[in-house]
Chains A and B, each alone.
Chain A
């Protein structure tokens, strides 16, 4: 059940040159939103920009959270990339912001044997929703691959360390931190770790190019993978059919990323 409500900006801080952390006090949504779901944020009071912007939940604190100050808060980690996010960097503490959420299907947590290697592969700001997933999964043989263009695009490393993830791997395309190359190439180079008798399960979120590359690889290795997609969205709640992705569904090949997604089985996506 999605709702439309005003939240209050608690904090809006720059954490890296292009990345900001927005804390919104919004108990009705903070209490309900699940990992992999998202919100549609109204970033302006007028028509500039016109549409809301979608953001995955990074962290959320329900009404029952032990730390009183955090109760009812929703955290969004965003990158300043365009008109909408630029407007967001101007949000001030105490200002009202209209939010629609929770939206989307979220990640599903199938019952897996405790020995399963759970692999999280995130590119750029995609790692943020995978962090919210990791919180729910617990440490559970968790292997985290964080990718980005440069070291300034590597997010949530400290978060994952605090969670005691089994192993954290970092890849930057320019080699400024960790492995030089794509996060998928890093993952492939580490594949020997996973060539044991335990099964693997992958969750992934990041740019289309990254997911395409991953899809090619898992196809042949027969590993299950959930991928969280993004798209330019119109409404974000399933009414306009603007945010579709092509799937192998015979009845309705074009499925909505905001409604049937954003999380899909990677093998069901038809890449064009």
Chain B
């Protein structure tokens, strides 16, 4: 799959390859109301990574349905909608509304957002808050519900457990790490928003560790992501327990990464005479 926020709405990539070869497309995250996003600069390159502070700029639910959704009529592969809210009520409302939209294979709920009703504590940073949120959203939709976890937390496995108990069908991890950079000549932060999210090859070792920890803790499928640039990286995630993976930052550099990873995994299976990828999932799992 391709990670939300790195693939636009899909159209931006259609010049480069046949999108239907992907397992699923996850477009930019949608909120109830349109969001303007953060002031620039929004991107800063680091060693083996990027920090982004895009700020969740998106057209909002109504505009998405009216102007963006029609494009997916010609897409045959799965469409998973990433969504988020500022309050629990917004998450529930969005889930309800997307429930009625035809052609959606599932929802990915971004819980790395601050709860403005609770002083800005990130939903995904507190097991109780995460559990409650997922419970409520679960009631609001029959669609497959994937919950995308934040790594900015001491014990991600406990959050994963909470959202599983709340009724999530799967978890996807990891989102970006809170990070920043400073320009010593201007003596100002490199990002307009000061803090952004770090992604790319630099985070892979931590992402892998977290996917492993979560796979040990939950029964539901785990979708792994974090610095996957090539098939070998994807296979590492599968071995530690991911049933599926997402490609994010790599898309920006090589738009064809998604299909190259798929081909690379196939090649690995053939070379190692493994007839089903499921045989590789969680080879490390202790149970």
Contacts and interface: CB of A to CB of B under 8 A. Distances in A.
A, B co-complexed: yes
A235 B251 contact: yes
B144 interface: no
Given A231-B41, A242-B42, A52 B36 contact: no
B54 interface: yes
A243 B6 CA distance: 13
B255 A245 contact: no
Nearest to A237: B12
Interface stretch (A43-51, A116-124, A218-226): A43-51
B229 interface: yes
Nearest to A84: B45
A137 interface: no
Contact of B253 (A2, A42, A238): A42
A232 interface: yes
Contacts of B8: 238-241
Interface string A20-49: 000000000000000000000010000111
Interface in B29-62: 34, 36-37, 39-45, 47-50, 52, 54, 57, 59
A255 B256 CA distance: 25
Given A254-B36, A254-B37, A239 B252 contact: yes
B127 interface: no
A48 B15 CA distance: 26
Given A47-B48, A47-B201, A239-B8, A234 B252 contact: yes
A47 B254 CA distance: 12
10 smallest beta-carbon distances between A and B, as pairs: A239-B8, A242-B43, A235-B252, A239-B12, A47-B48, A238-B12, A242-B42, A234-B43, A47-B201, A234-B252
Contacts of B57: 241, 244, 254
Contacts, number: 100
A225 B13 CA distance: 32
Given A231-B41, A233-B43, A246-B39, A241 B253 contact: no
Interface of B: 5-8, 12-13, 15-16, 28, 34, 36-37, 39-45, 47-50, 52, 54, 57, 59, 200-201, 229, 249, 251-256
Nearest to B45: A51
B40 A245 contact: yes
Given A42-B253, A50-B200, A52-B253, A272 B39 contact: yes
19 contacts: A2-B15, A48-B48, A49-B45, A50-B50, A51-B43, A51-B45, A51-B50, A51-B253, A98-B254, A100-B255, A235-B12, A239-B8, A240-B252, A241-B28, A244-B57, A245-B40, A246-B40, A252-B36, A252-B59
A4 interface: yes
A1 interface: yes
A94 interface: no
Interface in A232-272: 232-235, 237-246, 251-254, 272
A3 interface: yes
B119 to A, nearest CB: 27
Contacts of A243: 40, 42-43
B251 A47 contact: no
Interface string A47-87: 11111100000000000000000000000000000010000
A240 B253 contact: no
B42 A4 contact: no
Interface in A184-216: none
Contacts of B50: 50-51, 234
Nearest to B196: A242
B36 A239 contact: no
Contact of A231 (B7, B40, B253): B40
Contacts of A252: 36, 59
Contacts of B229: 47
Name the residue in B5, B52, B255 with the highest tally of chain A Cβ atoms < 10 Å from its Cβ.
B255
Contact of A242 (B12, B15, B54, B253): B54
Nearest to B38: A254
A2 B255 CA distance: 11
B259 to A, nearest CB: 12
